[in-house]
Amino acid sequence: MILVRKETKPEDVPAFFSSEGILTSLGGKSSHAAIVSRGMGKPCIVGCPELKIDYDNNIGTANGMTIKEGETITIDGSEGTVFIGEIPTVEPKVTKDFEQILTWAQKTKTLGIRANADTPDMAKLARKFGGQGIGLCRTERMFNGSDRINLFVEMIMAENIEERNKILEKLGKLQKSDFIEILKAMEGYEVTIRLLDPPLHEFLPNPEELVEKIQKLEADGKTNEISEAKVVLKRARELAEVNPMMGHRGVRVGVTYPEIYEMQIRSVFDALVELTKKKVKAHPQIMIPQISSIAELNHIKSIYDRIKKKD
């Protein structure tokens, strides 16, 4: 499946996991689609102005040709070419010549290289290519899987801490499983695990799109769905940030909702304990994002110290 959009936003990330490639009519090398797809190792074409997308009818047109949702296209991310229909492809393989070059590089290098890896598969690939640890493991990316994003949204929408903790318990088991596999893949090397960084509103639908959805539901008389959409809209507006890059995100989310960071820190410790029992040499490091004061650091450190003491 190819994800085709005018441009992508953080709320589109779950669709990235289900897609083989991404195609957008807007954007450049630093656009959301380009950055996220690059991190996932998926082909992507951005900035295709000839492509006009009609969301109402789920069709795209370019150079006099029209494609409908469900029809087959092929994209070449290296050349930026879109083909109508299915083009024969070959799975790239690591050649012996390339392996030899990597061997020489390992022998003569003076600096170690750590990878950005957010999933077990990415960690295994990084190790295969000679990565000596993970410099950044973005835990928020783990919540974007199709089996997790709905759980995470439910957690954000929870009306009280008891309800939130029940959902966090489920998410904690999933994170622990991921941490175990990532640390195993990088056995003997350090893995820097960054706690949740983005503002919570990025996991919810865009308020403007929700307003349009509610208007359509009202026109269709779908009362139950209208009520649900209005609840989500209210929460999305509550969490909206004027400056998402510097506001209520990272450590400040951990201060407001300490149970989220507690779940993540506990998952790291649980994974470490399990691997240690199996004689696996795991070396996790925890990164606290967006710190702007010593008070914020001390607040999260107290959570860390409490969990460490228990374990």
106 and 68 inside one domain: no
Nearest Cα to Cα of residue 278 among 186, 190, 178, 184: 184
Q: b/e map of 262-300 (b: 16 or more CB within 10 Å)?
A: bbbbbbbbbbbeebeeeeeebebebbbbbbeeeebeebb
Q: Are strands 59-62 and 65-68 parallel, antiparallel or unpaired?
A: antiparallel
DSSP string, 242-311: SSTTTSS-THHHHHHSHHHHHHHHHHHHHHHHHHHHTT---EEEEE-TT--SHHHHHHHHHHHHHHHHH-
Q: Is 112 helix (H, G, I), strand (E, B) or coil?
A: coil
Q: What is the pLDDT of residues 190-199, one digit of tens each?
A: 999 999 999 9
| Contact present, 69 and 57 (Cβ < 8 Å) | no
220 and 261 in a single domain? The answer is: no
Beta bridge mates, 54: 59
How high is the pLDDT of residue 68? 93
Say which CATH number the domain at 9 has: 3.50.30.10
Q: Please indicate, yes or no, if residue 302 is contained in any of the structural domains.
A: yes
Would residue 55 count as lying in a domain? Answer: yes
For residue 301, is pLDDT > 80?
Answer: yes
- Give the pTM: 0.81
Residue 47 has pLDDT above 90, yes or no: yes
CATH number at residue 183: 3.20.20.60
**pLDDT score, position 89:** 84
Same domain, 156 and 52: no
Question: What total of structural domains would you count in the chain?
Answer: 3
> And the tokens for 196?
């949740």
Tell whether 180 and 38 lie within a shared domain. no
Instruction: Judge whether residue 10 has pLDDT over 80.
Output: no
Instruction: State which of 217, 239, 261 marks the end of a domain.
Output: 239
Residue 39 pLDDT more than 80?
no
What is the structure's pLDDT at 222? 82
Residues 191 and 294 in one domain: yes
Q: Is the pLDDT of residue 258 over 90?
A: yes
Asked if the model's pLDDT at residue 13 lies above 90, the reply is: no
134 and 21 share one domain: no
> What is the rounded average pLDDT of the residues 51-75?
92
Average pLDDT over residues 61-77: 92
Say if residue 187 is in the same domain as residue 211.
no
66 and 214 in a single domain? The answer is no
Q: Residue 63: which domain range?
A: 2-84
Q: What are phi and psi of 82, to 5 degrees?
A: -115, 130
pLDDT at 178 over 90: yes
Instruction: For residues 49-62, give the mean pLDDT.
Output: 91
100 and 137 co-located in one domain? yes
> Which letter does DSSP use for residue 6 in this model?
S
Do the domain assignments include residue 212? yes
90 within a domain of the structure (yes/no): no
Q: Is 91 inside any structural domain?
A: no
Per the prediction, the chain carries an average pLDDT of 92
For the segment 257-276, the average pLDDT, to the nearest whole number, is 98
Backbone angles phi, psi at 115, to 5 degrees: -100, 160
